Structure formats: structure tokens, C-alpha cells
Chains A and B, each alone.
Chain A
Amino acid sequence: MQVATPLSDALGRYLDLTSEQMKLAASNMANVDTPGFKTQGFDFEQEFARQLQGGADAVDLAQAQEVDGLVARPDGNNVSMDREGMQLAKSQLQFRMGVELLKHEFSSVMSAIHAEAK
């Protein structure tokens, strides 16, 4: 029996991507008063599909790019606290979902480990 399954591998990548997204939201929030700063982000679905297609070999992390469609302030900064707060909340829930699914995925292995004690 193998401990790592294709699903657990995919969930690992999912968790990597959500924490990357959380990091970006935090960095955007940190730069809310930096003149000229542009909101950074990446397309989650597109990036996740790319990582899954990359297969087992290590795929480089998500490339953050400037997010368009946001209104810039006179100092050139276009960080929207609403968007970032929402992004952070969403990423936290996505992370929790990934963790719960991973826990579920490994529970069969855990019961196999504890089978002897029963």
C-alpha cells in the first residue's frame, strides 16, 4: 500500500497554491500605502491546471503578475482593501478545505497504522 496517492499529491499542490495566494494578499495589504505599488496576483484555476499537467517533476511556483481592472489612486497605488480582505478569507477557507480533504485521504493509512493496537 502506498501512502502518497495522486489525490494527496494534487492536494499538496493545492495547499501550496492557496498559501501562495495568502502570501500575495498579505503583501498587497502591507503595501496599501506604497506609492506606485500595483496589486499582484495570479489566476488560481489556470495555475493549478498547469501544475497538475506538469506531472511529478517539480513545477516552478506561480508567477505573480499585475492585476488589471482595479481603480488606481492618484499616487499610482491600486490596492483595494476589500478585494484583499476577501481574497484572504477565501484563501483561508480553501486552505482549510484542502487540509480536511488531505486528513480524510490519510485517515485510511492512519487506521492501518493503528489496526494492531485494536
Chain B
Amino acid sequence: MNLFGVMDVSASALQAERVRAEVVASNMANAETTRTADGGPYQRHHVVFEAEGGGSFQQTMANQLGGVGASSGLNGFSGGLLGSGVTAAQTVPGGVAVTGVISDASAPLRRYDPQHPDAGPDGFVDYPDINPLTEMVDLMGATRSYGMNASAVQAEKNMVGSSLDLLK
């Protein structure tokens, strides 16, 4: 872990929570959508979060410490970084990643509306099974988690600032 290790962990969480909020917004926007590219009504989407780095904290820590000791060849820079392109998609040990967005397979809500262009022969229209309350609570959760991780970043910035003050 380097000086900004904690910030990278919080950054991955900020990104993941933003994706979660985007998916909730998309669910609410499509609460009445009866037509999609693959036919049928819109299906509610969920995000799947996964802990990054694998293994326990101790294991990750040991790997990190071992890695620094082993790769101090070239001016103390780790050799693995050299020669690779610029990428934003790196795994952060201890961070969180969005592994996928899955769609809910629950049955659609059926409402009787024979005038609707997407009504079946029996006059029923299939609507997505989206509950505004569930979505709003999920959105609140995402917003609060985002704020929480933003506070963690602020705390980490203060920590780095105080360690810099030690130099004075």
C-alpha cells in the first residue's frame, strides 16, 4: 500500500455507488416501459458488488509488503508498472468492484388496458414490476454510501496533510 492506498479503496467505492445510483435511476425512469429491444416489458436491474483483491486483509497486506521488497530493482520502482499503457481499470486490494448488472426475472405486472398499443389479445398489458418505494430506499442507500466514502476520502486527505506537517 502506498501513501494513497486508502484513497484508492474509497475511490473504487465512490465509483461503485455511482453505478448503483445510475441503475436505480434507470429502473425508475423505466417504471412504465412496456417495450424493449428483446421484446416484453423492461426488467428491473440490480448491481452486484464484489470485494476486490481476494483473500483476507492480512494476506493482501503480506502480498503487498512482499511485492515491494521483491521488485525494488529499478530505482525502487516496481517493474510490473513499466511498459503498460494508461488504464483506469486496476484492481485495488480491499476495494469494491461492480461485477455485473443482472436483471430481475420476476413476472411482469398485468394491467387491463385494451387501448394500449402493447396490449395482448386478452386486453392485458405487461408492465415492469417496479416498486417506487424500493427504488427510492435503494437510491437513498446509494447516496448515503457515496457521502460516507467521500467523507473517508476527506479524512484520508487530512491524514496525509498531517503527515506532511510532520516534515515542518
Contact = CB atoms under 8 A, between A and B. Distances in A.
Interface of A: 39, 41-43, 45-46, 48-49, 52-53, 65-70, 80, 82-83, 86, 89-90, 93, 96-97, 100-101, 103-104
A100 B168 contact: yes
13 contacts: A42-B86, A46-B82, A46-B83, A49-B75, A65-B85, A67-B88, A68-B85, A82-B18, A86-B7, A93-B164, A100-B167, A100-B168, A103-B167
| In the A-B complex, the 9 residue pairs with the closest CB atoms | A69-B89, A69-B88, A100-B167, A69-B87, A86-B11, A82-B14, A93-B160, A67-B86, A41-B86
B142 interface: no
Interface residues of B, number: 28
A95 to B, nearest CB: 10
B19 to A, nearest CB: 8
Contacts of B90: 69
Contacts of B82: 45-46, 49
B77 interface: yes
A49 B81 CA distance: 11
Interface of B: 3-4, 7, 11, 14-15, 18, 74-75, 77-78, 81-90, 153, 157, 160-161, 164, 167-168
Contacts of B153: 86, 89
Contacts of A68: 85-89
B160 A46 contact: no
